[in-house]
């Protein structure tokens, strides 16, 4: 791993609720190196989005904090671009204008109009969407819109790309296609990526490390699994790669044997509650994640 540039230290996140503080995360520590691709995986409600929102600067930890390249994170910033599950493009703007909006925000002073235009088109080319530059979001498919969302994020030249289930709403083929594009782009640009996923295969195929989170309340890092597979990775070749299968097995074992579905915890979300030890909720747990069979 290259030197750590993003560090979460002793993070606690308590939300105020009518029944008192709800401690979603407690004592969460994570160091990420420049250019690493890290996936966060864990059962629904364990706190993955909360972690991402803290790194994005959208939430402030109640204890501990996040440091990026030596600077404490406490507000959103263009060096940390976020891609959500639903692309969130402006429907009244064209594909080009949607990317332009982000580029204006970051590079209005440092790039000429001509340079900005070339940069916007370059980012649309990266995700193979330059042909649709003049279309509006309503005129393109969900997968295409998600590509534009990724281009918009990349166009801000973020040192960290934060992705909250970026491919969750897409069909399997489009999803596979976008995963391959993302791997290519990330290899080329060397962005640090933190991606939330519920898909075990997606996590193993794309990641350098998989961070498996314990069930909440008071969730933290349960296991930190380094994925030592050569790149570029080919999904067909990986399907019977013994090491790939071992990693996949390790994640499944964490999710379904070590951390079963937190049904009791979800029903009674009070601070200091113990984690579910597991006899109930296994079937719900199996349904709680997609694409694992
Ligand atoms: N603003 C809030 N107020 C109170 N509780 C909250 C708030 N935001 C999140 N929580 C709680 O914190 C816990 C973690 O939520 P979070 O959305 O981070 O989980 P997640 O792992 O991303 O879930 P999912 O996989 O279902 O998206 C959950 O129990 C959730 O109900």
- Is 121 a member of any domain? yes
Helix (H, G, I), strand (E, B) or coil at 229: coil
Residue closest via CA to ligand 1's atom 12 equals 24
* Domain around 115: 85-154
- Is 15 a member of any domain? no
Q: Is the ipTM above a cut-off of 0.90? A: yes
- Is 70 a member of any domain? no
Which residue stretches of 42-112 are H helix? 48-56, 95-107
Number of domains in the chain: 1
Residue closest via CA to ligand 1's atom 17 equals 49
Compute the chain's Rg from CA coordinates.
19
Residues 162-187: tens digit of each pLDDT = 999 988 888 888 889 889 988 988 88
Pocket probe mutation, ligand 1, options 16, 26, 45, max atoms within 8 Å of Cβ? 45
Please give the pLDDT value at position 68.
96
- Segment 252-274 mean pLDDT: 64
Q: Give bridge partners of residue 74 from the DSSP assignment.
A: none
Residues 242-255: tens digit of each pLDDT = 999 999 999 999 99
- Is 125 a member of any domain? yes
Query: Which of 76-80, 125-129, 262-266 is predicted most confidently?
Result: 76-80
What is the dihedral sign for C-alpha 188, 194, 196, 202? positive
Please give the pLDDT value at position 85.
78
Please give the pLDDT value at position 263.
56
- Segment 106-123 mean pLDDT: 94
- Is 144 a member of any domain? yes
Burial class, 62, CB count within 10 angstroms (exposed 0-12 / middle 13-18 / buried 19+)? middle
Helix (H, G, I), strand (E, B) or coil at 96: helix
pTM for the whole thing?
0.86
- Is 250 a member of any domain? no
Whether residue 232 has a cis bond before it, omega within 30° of 0: yes
Ligand 1 pocket (Cβ < 6 Å) reads: 15, 17, 22, 24, 42, 44-50, 216, 269
Pocket probe mutation, ligand 1, options 11, 18, 42, 47, max atoms within 8 Å of Cβ? 47
Ligand 1 centroid vs 188 CA: distance in angstroms? 33
Pocket probe mutation, ligand 1, options 22, 85, 166, 168, max atoms within 8 Å of Cβ? 22
- Is 115 a member of any domain? yes
Closest atom of ligand 1 to 13 CA is 12
- Is 109 a member of any domain? yes
């Amino acid at each position: 791993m290259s030197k750590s540039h993003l560090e979460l230290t002793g993070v606690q996140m308590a939300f105020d609720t009518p029944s008192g503080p709800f401690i979603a995360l407690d004592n969460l520590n994570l160091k990420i190196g420049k250019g690493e691709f890290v996936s966060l995986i864990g059962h629904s409600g364990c706190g993955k989005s909360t972690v991402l929102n803290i790194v994005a600067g959208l939430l402030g930890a109640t204890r501990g904090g996040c440091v990026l390249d030596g600077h404490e994170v406490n507000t959103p910033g263009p060096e940390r671009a976020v891609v959500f599950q639903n692309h969130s493009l402006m429907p009244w703007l064209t594909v080009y204008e949607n990317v332009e909006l982000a580029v204006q925000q970051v590079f209005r002073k440092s790039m000429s109009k001509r340079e900005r235009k070339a940069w916007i088109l370059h980012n649309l080319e990266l995700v193979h969407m330059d042909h649709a530059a003049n279309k509006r979001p309503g005129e393109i498919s969900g997968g295409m819109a998600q590509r534009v969302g990724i281009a918009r994020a990349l166009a801000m030249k973020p040192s960290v790309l934060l992705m909250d289930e970026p491919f969750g709403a897409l069909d399997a083929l489009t999803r596979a296609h976008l995963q391959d594009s993302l791997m290519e782009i990330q290899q080329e640009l060397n962005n640090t990526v933190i991606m939330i996923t519920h898909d075990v295969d997606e996590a193993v195929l794309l990641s350098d490390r998989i961070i498996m989170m314990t069930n909440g309340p008071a969730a933290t890092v349960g296991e930190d699994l380094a994925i030592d597979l050569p790149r570029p990775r080919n999904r067909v070749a990986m399907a019977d790669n013994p090491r790939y299968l071992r990693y996949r097995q390790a994640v499944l074992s964490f999710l379904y044997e070590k951390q079963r579905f937190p049904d009791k915890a979800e029903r009674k979300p009070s601070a200091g509650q113990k984690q579910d030890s597991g006899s109930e909720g296994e079937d719900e747990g199996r349904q709680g994640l997609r694409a694992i069979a």
